[in-house]
Copies of this chain bind each other. A is one copy, B any other.
Amino acid sequence: MNKIFIVGYHQSAFGKLMDVTLEQAFANAANGALATVGATPEVVDTISMAACCAPLLNDQMLLSGLLADAPGFANKPIDTAENACASGGQALLNVAYRLLAGAADVGLVVGAEKMRNDLGKMDGLQVGKALGTASHPDEREGKTFVFPHIFAEIMQRYIATHKDASEELLAHVAATHYGHANENPLAQMRKIKVTPEDVMRIEGVNRYVVPGLPLKTYDASQISDGYAALVVVNSRGLEKLGVPRERVVELAGFAQRTDPLRTAQRDDILAPRGAYGAVAAAYEMAGITADRVSVAEVHDCFSVMGAMGVEIIGKAGYGEGARYYADGKARVDGGATPINTSGGLMAKGHPIGATGVAMPGWCYQQLVGDVPAALQVKDLDHAATFNIGGPICASVVTVLKKV
């Protein structure tokens, strides 16, 4: 069986790209990643892209053509993957399958999103409506910004269902991730300090998004511009590029599953079968169990998903994710498996199409020792990512390890 490797990663600072166009963002991401392995576009056999908000926020589809505009990228196989906020993860899988099949040896995965205008301003209603199209049409009417409302309900259910869950315990999710972001120079919230007490205090920007439901501003991820790209190869591609062994990480497992979009159709929204299935399949492919995962990036679009993410990747039992955070285990220095050492979607930022690229990208950097010293996890075995789209609907899971 062919093996798949990640050998290079590049991203922008997440937050505001100002007057960088989507076209420039794609080219910067692609060229930046290639530069990390001293390569130029000529060596690239296949590319998959992600920027699922582009049709609605930037009046742009056919993103592949925008990248093909950049010098050296014309006339290659380039597609765009869409699985809402898991589009970046899906793009990685699209490339991985082509490499596995031997149809390509050197691949690029390029994700970006431009959710703010050239002055760095955003329109929360417009963004909410655009992302809201990733919900079932019967389940979005009357919801405040759509997804914040949907996840406020999920947060409420999480608290009501689990004996060891509360708004106070869940406040540790944001505090943990902001704490990590404070050490990550590319994180959007790198300068914002947030304690669990801050999360609980209704003051300034922090308010209940939907009256009567527990989700607050600090429980939510950011509206971000940003781009990210990975260089991904198979065994032949690895030889072609001649990347030194210490810069090579194996993409040892990966899987995707899609839960029904209509959440009312699920047995238990807190235990999404597709998400659990994707984790099981990726771990099986990598030949590991959860205890072999030393660091993880999970899809903390909202704090409850940080907690659930820890459960779904097998690092906490069902309903024990909030406690995992409150006990400090998610922290880089918590003595357990650190979660979202990048800062996560909440504090690193969440440029939708880039997110699913940046999660394995950060894990790659953890494994090769590229992250800032304060965030570097030692003695790493495997790293895992869990990227979702929609109301915990499309799940992409990856498992990385040093070669």
- Write the residues of chain A forming the contact surface with B, with a CB cutoff of 8 angstroms: 2, 52, 55-56, 59-69, 74-84, 90, 93-94, 97-98, 100-103, 133-137, 255-262, 265, 273-274, 277, 389-390, 393-394
Contact = CB atoms under 8 A, between A and B. Distances in A.
A101 B97 contact: yes
A163 B63 CA distance: 35
Given A61-B134, A80-B82, A82-B61, A75 B261 contact: no
Given A82-B79, A273-B75, A66 B101 contact: no
A134 B262 CA distance: 30
Nearest to A69: B260
A93 to B, nearest CB: 8
How many copies of this chain are found per oligomer? 2
Given A66-B261, A393-B68, A90 B97 contact: no
A77 B261 contact: no
A391 to B, nearest CB: 8
Contacts of A61: 52, 56, 82, 84, 133-134
B261 A69 contact: yes
Given A65-B136, A69-B261, A79-B93, 19 more contacts: A52-B61, A55-B55, A59-B137, A60-B133, A62-B82, A62-B84, A65-B258, A65-B262, A65-B394, A66-B261, A68-B258, A76-B257, A77-B256, A77-B257, A79-B82, A82-B82, A94-B94, A98-B101, A100-B103
B273 A66 contact: no
A78 B137 contact: no
Nearest to A84: B62
Nearest to A390: B62
Given A79-B81, A90-B79, A259 B68 contact: yes
Contacts of A101: 2, 97-98, 100-101
